Amino acid sequence: MEQKFSKETLCVQAGWTPKNGEPRVLPIYQSTTFKYDTSEQMARLFDLKDSGYFYTRLQNPTNDAVASKIAALEGGVGAMLTSSGQAANFYAVFNICEAGDHFVCSSTIYGGTFNLFAVTMKKLGIECTFIDADAPEEEIDKAFRPNTKCLFGETISNPSINVLDIEKFARIAHKHGVPLIVDNTFATPINCRPFEWGADIVTHSTTKYMDGHATCVGGAIVDSGNFDWEAHADKFPGLTQPDESYHGLTYTKAFGKMAYMTKATAQLMRDLGSIQSPENAFLLNLGLETLHLRVPRHCENAQKVAEWLEANPKVKWVNYCGLKSNKYYELAQKYMPNGSCGVIAFGLHGTREDAIRFMDHLKLACIVTHVADARTCVLHPASHTHRQLTDEQLIEAGVAPDLIRLSVGIENVNDIIADLEQAMEQI
């Protein structure tokens, strides 16, 4: 569907346009493989000379329909679904990096991604330098090297809820001849489209707001098609030089603006797997159909809860960019004037044990590792998702040891506040 339609219409209609007599609702193509009449037809698919389906690890009609919807929502030229947001971030970087390469990343990213970039990818020979996203441009410049291949950040950081200055990051990345990759999970394309501010590639953990119901794990990568790989051909040989695993095909010459996405699908997904199952893609599509309805409610509820927390004497600090007192308020108004997300970071007066006691007394809000679905939930990252980090590493990652991550759901906001209030009475 053409991207001239509004985001609300794209949420409902994009990706699947049934032909005469076909199912009105996107079906689940629950098949590992696809049949062809001649050997030549199959051979052309394997040579990337024709488009089509032959094995679900690479492509599946259900998955492609949902990826197309996400691409339309973000304003990209193409997208690919992955089995998780973690896989999406790995593929997004690994698609342009190899052993001996380097990339630069905001230090306040999600703890699992931090560990992936700092530890696991280092074992593959790819080094990451973490920087303070709020640092001056000239200071961030110093992190770049001749072998740097990309700059990475999150629109809204998880769990610190900092807002990325996308234009600044895009300017820095392009000055050094590399793409900017932005994880847009928390803002979603409903509230922010990073491509409009200079980002080149967007990733998502579709597990969060896009699915919205905590039913299926998934991820997505979207390419804007705007980065000129040929202009920096020496930096990106995987895209601009022949791929011997495809008879010497060169992705930029054969696929133009779709070079990055084609390589990610035909090479990385072929070799590493991590495809999203068609059934999960089907469930994700159901979530996307109401994304434009749910996100405003999350933001409306979170704004009221954040204001209540800020006024509560038992609360030491609150980080939510919708508050006028917040250091990221102006950035949020620039990039996300209609609202940011439903996730709030805050700390209580008292000890770590007080924070745990508060969470243990919640009745409506549940303690779960998940975030950003319809139900209100809470987590203490230092004790849970980030427990592998030292206090020094926590602070470096922008995660205060007393930080409580509250994901505000779409329930009645008065019920949410009442639950928080009764739990605070216990400390």
DSSP 212: -
**What was the pLDDT predicted at 384?**
65
Q: Which residue has the tokens 């098609």?
A: 225
Q: How confident is the model at residue 335 (pLDDT cuts 50, 70, 90)?
A: very high
Average pLDDT in the 289-313 region? Answer: 98
Kindly calculate the radius of gyration of the chain based on its CA atoms and give it in whole angstroms.
22
Q: Distance between CA atoms of 152 and 114, rounded to whole angstroms?
A: 11
pLDDT tens by residue, 9-27: 999 999 999 999 999 999 9
What pLDDT digit, counting tens, does each position of 43-92 carry? 888 888 888 898 999 899 999 999 999 999 999 999 999 999 999 999 99
* DSSP structure string for 24-82: SSPP----SB---SSHHHHHHHHTTSS---SBTTT--HHHHHHHHHHHHHHT-SEEEEE
CA torsion sign for 222, 224, 229, 230 is positive
pLDDT recorded at residue 179: 98
Say how far apart CA 367 and CA 199 lie, in whole Å. 34
End-to-end CA distance of the chain: 53
What is the average pLDDT across 362-390?
Answer: 85
**pLDDT for 104:** 98
pLDDT of res. 350: 87
Q: What is the pLDDT of residue 205?
A: 98
Q: What local confidence, expressed as pLDDT, does residue 385 receive?
A: 63
Q: Model confidence over 177-191: pLDDT tens digits?
A: 999 999 999 999 999
Q: What is the pLDDT of residue 387?
A: 65
Given this model, what pLDDT does residue 220 score? 98
Question: Tokens representing 170?
Answer: 């895009």
Would you say residue 398 has pLDDT above 80? no
- Per-residue pLDDT tens for 123-160? 999 999 999 999 999 999 999 999 999 999 999 999 88
Helices marked H in 248-401? 251-255, 259-263, 270-272, 278-288, 291-311, 329-335, 352-360, 391-396
Q: Is 382 exposed, middle or buried (0-12, 13-18, 19+ CB in 10 A)?
A: buried
Q: Is residue 388 pLDDT above 70, yes or no?
A: no
pLDDT in tens, 219-244: 999 999 999 999 999 999 999 999 99
Distance CA 298, CA 288 (A): 15
Q: Give me the pLDDT at residue 296, please.
A: 98
| Rounded Cα gap, residues 116 and 129, in angstroms | 13
pLDDT at 423 over 90: yes
Rounded CA gap, 169 and 174, in Å? 9
In one-letter notation, the amino acid at residue 243 is D
| Cα 291 from Cα 293, distance rounded (Å) | 5
Q: Are 195 and 217 in contact (CB under 8 A)?
A: no
Strand-pair category, 180-183 with 127-131 = unpaired
Query: Residue 79, exposed/middle/buried by CB under 10 A (0-12, 13-18, 19+)?
Result: buried
**Is 427 or 332 the better-scoring residue by pLDDT?**
332
